[in-house]
Amino acid sequence: MTLADIFQRFEQDALPLQKVTSAKRARAALVSLSRIVGNTPLNLVSPETGWRYRRQRHAEGMAAATVHYELRLLRQVCRHSADTWGIGCSAPVAHGTLPKVPHRAERWLSPNELRRLEDACPAYVGRVITFAVETGLRINEICRLSWNQVDLERGELKIGEQKNGKSSLLPLSLGAREVLRVLTTEKKPQGAVFLKGFSPWTDSSLRAAFYKAVKRSGIAPVRFHDLRHTFATRLVQAGVDLYTVQRLGRWSSYDMVQRYGHHNTESLRQALAKVVA
């Protein structure tokens, strides 16, 4: 039995239980893993297997983040095989095998950049951008948002299963409520909240429209997900504590919002002034 055999079984048994986007990424990684180390017999798997894979992928010019993910998947598949099917092998990824992934500085939009971006796109795209900045919703959450999740009277939004597997009830800012109010004047509030023509947005179509607006606006390169960073950054700059930012942004841990702490210098200065006073 070879690694390719357990790759195939993992794809058939385990991936259908994952979210669509996660499974799609894993399938692509399994193709590369099978190509490079798939013919390795299980009894010959060793840390050198992981190193060989890493060397080959780097020689092919793959980014460190991609190789890091693929090696983690290799480790996961081997552990799953041993724990679930009783088919074990030596650890293929030793300590130090995973390449270091360069830290990406968080990108957020200034008020001027946001204004230029919204001016560079049609109103129906601009409203999505405004709503994303006002709520911190991820692109897939926006595309799948339906009116039965919205309570305009109470100013609340119910988010179903999220990245962390939980659901949340979120308060809506005045800006987000205004976007929704305008939409209710244009069409009956039923079905998907945000539409491209008469159809709901897909992740890919919304990203394409967003990047088109970014290019037209002339601002520095920015991803749709950076609108979520902008949401968090604006809260911190307004003096909101990081615990509250975590709750509003639905990050699974406090550590994940620590990266926004450097935006909080002014509120820290004000806190020190209160102590002195």
pTM for this prediction = 0.64
Return the bridge partners of 151, or none.
156
Tell me the two tokens of residue 226.
């950076």
Record: fold of 111-273: hpI Integrase; Chain A (1.10.443)
At 196, give phi and psi (nearest 5°): -110, 100
- 63, amino acid identity: A
Q: Report the candidate in 150, 190, 184, 142 with the shortest Cα–Cα distance to residue 170.
A: 150
Rounded to an integer, what is the distance from CA 203 to the centroid of its chain? Answer: 12
The Cα–Cα gap between 269 and 273 comes to 6
Helix ranges (H only) for the chain are: 3-13, 20-37, 47-59, 64-80, 111-119, 123-135, 139-143, 174-186, 203-217, 226-237, 242-249, 265-276
Map tokens 């193709």 to a residue: 31
Q: Report the candidate in 156, 159, 158 with the shortest Cα–Cα distance to residue 140.
A: 159
| Domain boundaries of the chain, sorted by first residue | 3-85, 111-273
Return the bridge partners of 167, or none.
none
The Cα–Cα gap between 136 and 151 comes to 18
CA distances from 85 to 28, 50, 89, 97, 206 (A): 23, 22, 12, 26, 41
234, 221 contact by CB (below 8 A): no
pLDDT of residue 238: 87
- Per-residue pLDDT of the chain in tens (277 residues, 90 and over written 9): 999 999 999 999 999 988 888 899 999 999 999 999 999 999 999 999 999 999 999 999 998 989 999 999 999 999 999 999 999 999 999 888 898 877 666 788 999 999 999 999 999 999 999 999 999 999 999 999 999 999 999 999 998 755 555 678 899 999 999 999 999 998 888 999 999 988 999 998 999 999 999 999 999 889 999 999 999 999 988 888 888 988 998 888 877 777 776 665 655 666 667 665 5
The Cα–Cα gap between 37 and 4 comes to 8
